[in-house]
Structure 1
């Protein structure tokens, strides 16, 4: 979570843009994102060069080496394109270099390739109007990075939180039901699903590609040998493993940049209305990670007929669940966030999709989350559903967990606290065999499929959780009355003493 000095610096940067004449929040976020990308490119290049030398190799070709062609008509000294170089230029020179050289350079990075990055950067525009504003912004971002790097082990998390905090400033944020998923919740979901090196991973509501980035980082950390063992595996990781869809071009640009700076060269980040006929993916993916928008209602004519055949509804949260089942191959797994209404809604569509999950597939877990998880952006109550597509059943018992703390206060401030169920959730999910005999009065427990069927496929934890009432013994009524009389007498005596003092 962003707080303290870092939050103050970002707020100050936002004010700097406003004072410099750039007031549209979306434009401000885009310009900050481009500059962060330019900084990250420089850092990533230096890291790759150092790693290459440490391995005793001498075959790394830097994107900044020698003379670099930034567009059709201009060749420049590559070193001048580095953040670490131009940040020290005088404002006028810095402005010229960034506008004329650096910005065309990042736009054309994947020029000639049919990559998502090249497609989404094609329409990117440099909008910072003056040298003075650019100089102030570069200086402010340098300081923000210094604060982010104070704890290198958490830099990736903090960087994601910075994006989340910036996006929270959009007045349009959440208008379509999109709520930025907190980084620690994404990390938990990725760890629960334990992505494999041969997975094909998708997020049909990708936004800034947070789930895909975290899955990539998890694999680079935990499955590094498998991913980079052969050229074929490395090519698969960089070009075929990750797919993300969104209908917001700004989010797609940020997502493509986000993936590139996290070591994935060419993910399939594309413009798709996932619920429409535009999305034809079927039996394609082995893992879906998503927090789809809870928009409310759509018109039937904008929704794919394939989805409506399974679940006739206008509610996006139900349609996305239907979509996930269609997009997954048999044996494919999904971890997704849904609003609580999905768990107990009484409409025919609600019951229908829950029945499909329980009867036709393997519903493994329902993790109930407290409503404060999405604050300050929203106060919705949500849950995580984890299931495997089988097409022929498989649900025997469903694991329920009542998360009451996620390591942060559940108010708008979201300050760090000691209470945190996330480590316990991860540990217990990895050893579900030990959960079978736990009582329904505990934080987590198993529920038989039969009980769920008997309850009309209700998946709300409160339907099955048992409350243990402890008897409280009170003193006899006559003793209580005697105590009240005693207190009344003491109060009256004190009042009389006060009156006596006032007469004197």
Structure 2
């Protein structure tokens, strides 16, 4: 459902006021810092700050079963991807560190303030991830996020350059390349991408070919068209997919899931997480089910001859 004009105006006024107060070096209570994460919206001129809904951020955490490690979001907005890892205010889960990189000045100000009480969160403000890529560590266990979709910029990559000279590349493709280079071997990448990444030609086709030598595709999950309906100033219905890769491992089977129950998204996500965990265990059988959409498979735990089922 699209936002109403009053709701849009209230969100813009709140966000502008927050930035003014931060720049004026006002102090914020922890309740006010929490409110920034709930109510702040991006104010970039192109209205391209579509922060990822928390429910999808949680989906990424649970699919990857992240319980410890070094995590990065290379285009973090205000840091929504961090939120599922919060244990109590001011502290993430044990053995988790999270680096956020954000270019937009206003998003940076809001995100830095919102996470200022968390020692485990390093928020790099006004940071041009592409231009300053050599400053980013290359030992992350996980790189997760929702990179920019539109536009192009100069970026050196192995799969699309002019005999060693920098060419313009899609911003989205550059972020994928950067994620692969900055995650350590056996590390995982989970990115929300435009649907066209899977089938778009030209440079993206060359990117996918190069990726086959670097990472194994683990999962593809098309997201509902309403996923970002409340994001940004007016929301967007752009088609998106969640892709998961693992670096430096052999390609195996690929999990293709679906979020389809708009009435109970939480239960739908929990079911999807269970299905993926079962898929990862490799201890499953497939039940084929026919519907109006066609035939699809439901994973079920293997049942031993004596009636015991394999736990996941």
TM-score by length of 2: 0.75
1:27 corresponds to: 16
Structure 1 counterpart of 2:183, from 320, 328, 339 = 328
- Corresponding residue SS for 1:371: coil
CA distance in 1, matches of 2:60, 2:286: 25
Instruction: Within 5 Å, give how 1:249-288 maps onto structure 2.
Output: 249-261=105-117, 263-264=118-119, 267-281=122-136, 283-288=138-143
Structure 1 counterpart of 2:272, from 415, 425, 437 = 425
Residue 180 of structure 1: how far off its partner (Å): 1.5
RMSD: 3.9
Matched, 1:371 2:225: yes
Residue 326 of structure 1: how far off its partner (Å): 0.4
Matched, 1:317 2:172: yes
1:213 corresponds to: 83
2:50 corresponds to: 179
Give the structure with the larger strand fraction: 2
CA distance in 2, matches of 1:201, 1:213: 13
Residue 26 of structure 1: how far off its partner (Å): 6.0
Change in Cα spacing, 1:196 to 1:305, as seen in structure 2 (3 Å) is same
Residue 334 of structure 1: how far off its partner (Å): 1.1
1:240-268 CA distances to partner (integer Å, 9 max, x unpaired)? Answer: x221112122212222222224x336624
Flag structure 1 segments of 5+ consecutive residues without an equivalent.
18-24, 44-140, 146-155, 228-232, 408-416, 446-504
Residue 382 of structure 1: how far off its partner (Å): 0.5
2:210 corresponds to: 356
- Does the aligned pair in 2 maintain the 1:342–1:350 contact within 8 Å? yes
- Does the aligned pair in 1 maintain the 2:53–2:80 contact within 8 Å? no
1:160 corresponds to: 37
1:124 corresponds to: none
Matched, 1:389 2:238: no
Change in Cα spacing, 1:436 to 1:10, as seen in structure 2 (3 Å) is same
CA distance in 1, matches of 2:121, 2:224: 36
Higher RCO (CA 8 Å, separation ≥ 6 residues): 2
1:345 corresponds to: 200
Residue 444 of structure 1: how far off its partner (Å): 6.1
- Corresponding residue SS for 2:264: strand
- Does the aligned pair in 2 maintain the 1:325–1:389 contact within 8 Å? yes
- Does the aligned pair in 2 maintain the 1:366–1:384 contact within 8 Å? yes
- Corresponding residue SS for 1:267: strand
Flag structure 2 segments of 5+ consecutive residues without an equivalent.
289-293, 300-312
- Corresponding residue SS for 2:131: coil
CA distance in 1, matches of 2:137, 2:11: 44
1:339-389 CA distances to partner (integer Å, 9 max, x unpaired)? Answer: 001011122x22222233344322110001122211141111010011111
1:442 corresponds to: 296
Matched, 1:188 2:59: yes
Give the structure with the larger helix fraction: 1
- Corresponding residue SS for 1:372: coil
1:456-491 CA distances to partner (integer Å, 9 max, x unpaired)? Answer: xxxxxxxxxxxxxxxxxxxxxxxxxxxxxxxxxxxx
- Does the aligned pair in 1 maintain the 2:22–2:109 contact within 8 Å? no
Residue 338 of structure 1: how far off its partner (Å): 0.4
- Corresponding residue SS for 1:345: coil
**Structure ID, larger Rg:** 1
